[in-house]
């Protein structure tokens, strides 16, 4: 999973559909209640192998830390499959969680042009195929309790899109029709939200990117077009390293911007670009300036009940040490700060005790210890200069070196 740069306006018909949602929808209240215990799926085989190797080498303390990491609740990624086989696999996982009285968190990650065909390329090949996939996915959940993280990067990277500020999205795959690709992305996400939100015990969250990526107005606009007001909210920081402190502010601003552009003064309807953000009046690199954007929301949105605002979840799986920057003086073509940065640590453990009425949970969505991809910092060499010039594992493969870093630098520390 990689990050994006920008996006494209959708068709008039899609805009009209989004406008209709503004009139008839209201945000769902939190459906992940306080005290929820989350499910731990079976570990990556690479983790099991690493633990065995460490024990054999006499490194029992490190082996124990990695075991603690893999025994911590985390999400189940669903990246393919189809039909009855997909339905049965999800049903089996949901039932295992139910038997343990735990809530499973599923990541639905199969949309066409996933990751704009980069490190995590793949996904369905058409709208119809994706809708059939969602149908099979939903059938597997049925009446079981579950939370669904719907398509990481699905709104951060949109093929052939233009942002509300008129900037063209960098993702322009030759295989996608420039005239329809963006509208199809929103249509597919709306379909998925409708199908999943109709399930009696499933909560669903859409992609909200993170605080070092899209501005508040841009992502709020995309979320509304994707059906966030029919969902339970949005997710932040999936597979990334931004601090929880910043995500809480960012998430609150997105929620209030969605409200401002859909239920605010008549002259504000649809004008998400007016919303304050981490980029203005705040300065993204200076957290001490972020109260400037707080002040804008206090003046223009006011004190709105959390029940009337979209909620969110934050991925804290790898943000214990915060974001990474390339060493001073290094001139790699693209530092790829999101891609296997060295010396990061596990973050806050999964919990519903977030201290924020809009934050439903802190979750480990990205599987800690799995690689982000074969990062080369834009050098085209296939090796990672930030990690001594060795080749990183492929996206989703187990990365022993990173796993050791995550447990060693965990914040709070592993017990």
Q: Is residue 372 among the annotated active site residues?
A: yes
CA–CA dist 336, 394 (Å, integer): 15
Is 247 in contact with 233 (CB distance < 8 Å)? no
Reading across the β-sheet that carries 233-236, which strands appear in turn?
76-78, 105-108, 146-150, 202-207, 233-236, 311-315, 359-363
Query: Per the structure block, which two tokens stand in for 313?
Result: 């979840």
Taking Cα atoms as reference points, which of 31, 76, 156, 1 lies closest to residue 364? 76
- 153 a catalytic residue: yes
47 three-state secondary structure: helix
Q: Please give the full DSSP string across 238-251, using - where no structure is assigned.
A: TT----HHHHHHHH
Residue located via tokens 């999800």: 90
Beta bridge partners of 283: 286
Annotated catalytic residue: which of 360, 372, 376, 392? 372
Distance CA 138, CA 287 (A): 40
Task: Give me the catalytic one of 115, 221, 232, 360.
Answer: 115
> What CA–CA distance (Å, rounded) separates 9 from 19?
14
Residue 323 tokens, joined: 């974001």
Q: Is 176 helix (H, G, I), strand (E, B) or coil?
A: coil
Tell me whether residue 329 is exposed, middle or buried, using C-beta atoms within 10 angstroms of its C-beta: 0 to 12, 13 to 18, 19 or more.
exposed
Report yes or no: 169 and 158 within 8 Å, Cβ to Cβ.
yes
Please confirm whether the linkage preceding 282 is cis (ω < 30° from 0): no
Distances from the Cα of 59 to the Cαs of 53, 56, 63, 407, 415, in angstroms? 9, 7, 6, 14, 16
Tell me the DSSP string of 142-168.
TTS-EEEEE-TTTTTS-TT-B-TTSPB
Catalytic status, residue 177: no
Q: Are 342 and 401 in contact (CB under 8 A)?
A: no
Annotated catalytic residues are 115, 153, 372
């Amino acid at each position: 999973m990689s990050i994006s740069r920008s996006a494209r306006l959708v068709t008039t018909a899609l805009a009209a559909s989004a406008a209709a949602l503004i009139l008839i929808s209201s945000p769902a209240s939190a459906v992940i209640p306080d005290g929820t215990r989350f499910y731990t799926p079976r570990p990556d085989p690479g983790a099991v192998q690493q633990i065995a190797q460490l024990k054999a080498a006499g490194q029992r303390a490190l082996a124990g830390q990695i075991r603690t990491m893999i025994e911590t609740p985390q999400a189940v990624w669903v990246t393919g499959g189809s039909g009855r086989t997909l339905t049965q696999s999800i049903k089996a996982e949901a039932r295992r969680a139910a038997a343990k009285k735990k809530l499973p968190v599923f990541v639905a990650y199969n949309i066409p042009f996933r990751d704009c065909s980069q490190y995590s390329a793949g996904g369905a090949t058409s709208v119809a195929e994706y809708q059939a996939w969602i149908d099979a996915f939903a059938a597997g959940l049925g009446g079981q309790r579950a939370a669904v993280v719907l398509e990481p990067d699905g709104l951060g990277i949109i093929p052939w899109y233009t942002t509300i500020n008129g900037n063209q999205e960098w993702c322009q795959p030759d295989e996608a029709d420039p005239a329809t690709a963006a509208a199809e992305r929103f249509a597919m996400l709306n379909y998925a939200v409708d199908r999943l939100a109709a399930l009696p015990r499933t909560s669903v969250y859409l992609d909200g990117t993170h605080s070092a990526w899209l501005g508040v107005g841009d992502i709020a606009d995309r979320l509304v077009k994707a059906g966030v007001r029919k969902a339970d909210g949005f997710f932040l920081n999936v597979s990334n390293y931004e601090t929880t402190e910043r995500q809480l502010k960012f998430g609150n601003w997105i929620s209030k911007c969605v409200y401002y552009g859909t239920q605010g003064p008549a002259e504000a309807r649809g004008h998400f670009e007016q919303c304050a953000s981490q980029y203005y009046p705040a300065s993204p690199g200076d957290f001490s300036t972020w109260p400037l954007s707080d002040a804008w929301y206090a003046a223009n949105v006011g004190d709105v009940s959390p029940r009337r605002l979209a909620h969110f979840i934050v991925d804290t799986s790898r943000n214990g040490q915060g974001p990474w920057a390339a060493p001073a003086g290094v001139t790699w073509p693209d530092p790829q700060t999101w891609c296997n940065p060295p010396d990061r640590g596990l973050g806050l453990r999964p919990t519903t005790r977030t201290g924020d009425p809009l934050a439903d949970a802190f979750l480990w969505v990205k599987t800690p210890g799995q690689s982000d991809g074969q990062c080369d910092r834009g050098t085209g060499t296939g090796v990672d200069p930030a990690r001594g010039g060795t080749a990183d594992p492929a996206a989703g493969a187990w990365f022993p070196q990173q796993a050791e870093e995550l447990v060693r630098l965990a914040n709070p520390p592993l017990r």
